[in-house]
Amino acid sequence: MRLSSDQQLRDRSLAERCFAVQALVVPFLVVYWGVCEYAQHSDALAGVFDERVLHVTQSVLVVHSVVWGALMALTAGFIRRGADGPMWLGHLTVQLYAVPNLYAAYLLGPVTSPFMVVMLGSGLLGLLIFPPRVAWMAVVTVSLGLVIPELLRLSGLIPYAPLLRGSPHDDPRVTHFWSGFMWFIVASVSALLTTLFHVLLEDLRAREAALSAMTRTDPLTGLFNRRHFMEQLVREHDRYARYKRPLSCMMVDLDYFKRINDEHGHAVGDIVLKETSKRLGLALRTTDMIARLGGEEFGALLPDTDIEGAQRVAERCRELVGATPVDIAGRPSVPVTASFGVAMLDTHTMPQPEDLLRAADAALYSSKGRGRNRVSISDAGLDPFDSDPV
C-alpha cells in the first residue's frame, strides 16, 4: 500500500491501516518459520533448544499464519467494498499482533528478549496509527501478558525462557547464530518501526503546515488573510523602529464591485477577485506581501520602499488590473478597475502599526472620491493628493 503525500497513513480507512500492519508482519512470519526449521536440523544448535517447545512453537506459527492470512483476506474484502472497517477489525489486528510477540517474549525470557523492543515500539506506533481505544486495549493485553508470566515464574510455577535449555552464550558454536538472530530481530523491527514513525511524523508535520496555512491564507484567492497581514504589519513596524528602513503600505479596492455581483452573480465576482489577486501578485516583488483584507479590498506591505517607489508600484498594479477585462467562460468578459491608496511609515506621526494602514486607507478613499481608477498618496496620513490615471 503506497503512502502518497496527499493521503498519508492516518488518512486511510481503518481497514487500510489494518491491512498495512498485516502485510508488514508476513515477512517476519516467514523468517521465524525458517529459524525454527534451522534450529531443529542444525547439529551446532543441538542441546540449546528444547525440541518439544520448538515443535509447539512451529505449530503455533502455522496456526497463527493461517489465522493471519484469513484476517488479511477479510480486511481486503472491506477495502474492496470501500468500507472503513468495523472497530473490532482494529482490535483483532492489534491483539493478534501482540499475542504471538508475547509468546515469543515468554519463550526467550522477557528481560533480555529483543521482543521487548518490539512491544515498546509497536505500542507507541499503535497509538499513532489506530484509534486510542484499539491501541490501549493492546497495551492492556501486553501488560498482562508480561506481568502474569513473571508472577508465575517468581512463584516457581513456570520456568524462565522455556525454549532454552541453557544459555546460548555458553557454547561458542551457538553464540554467533544467537547474537545474529537477536540483532536481526532488533535491527529489522527497529528499521520497520522507524520507517513507519517517519511516515507518521511527516504526516503530522504536513497537517501542522496545512493548519498553519489555513490560519494565514484566504481560501478564495490564496493570498494571505487580514489576520496575517496585521501580524506582518506589526513586525515590519518594529523593524522600521529598529533599522529606520522605509516601509510603505498600499491599499486596493475594486471599483463598482457590488455592481459586478449584482449584474453577473457572485460566482463571477469570485472569478474577478481571483484574477485580480493574480494580477496584483505579478506587479509586486517577492519581498512584498499582499493580502485580501475582506470583500473586494486588498492590502500590500512594501518593505524598503519609499513613497515614490510605492507610487510606481501602485501605478503598475493599477495598469495590470485594468489592462484587459476578466474572461468568464461562456459569458461576456468583465471590465475591472481598482482604486489605490499608498502611504509611507513615519513613526512620529504613526506611532502605532494601525496608523500606517489608516493613512493608506484614507488615501484609498480619496481615490474613490476623486473618480476611482487612480492612485492617491498620503503624506504621513495627512491631506492625501492623487495621481491621475495614465
Q: What is the DSSP string of 23-86?
A: HHHHHHHHHHHHHHHHHHH-GGGTTTB-HHHHHHHHHHHHHHHHHHHHHHHHHHHHHHTT----
| Residue 341 falls in which region: left (phi positive, over 0), alpha (psi -120 to 50) or beta | beta
Which DSSP letter does residue 3 get?
-
Cβ atoms of residues 137 and 127 within 8 Å: no
Q: Locate 194 and state its grid cell.
A: 522507524
Q: Considering 16, 236, 275, 296, which one is annotated as catalytic? A: 296
Cβ atoms of residues 235 and 34 within 8 Å: no
Cβ atoms of residues 253 and 272 within 8 Å: no
Q: 208 catalytic, yes or no? A: no
Half-sphere exposure of 163 (CA within 13 A, CB side): 19
> What is the rounded distance in angstroms from the CA atom of residue 212 to the CA atom of residue 217?
9
Distances (CA, A) of 190 to 29, 112, 118, 195, 197: 16, 16, 8, 8, 10
> What is the rounded distance in angstroms from the CA atom of residue 87 to the CA atom of residue 98?
17
Known catalytic residues?
296
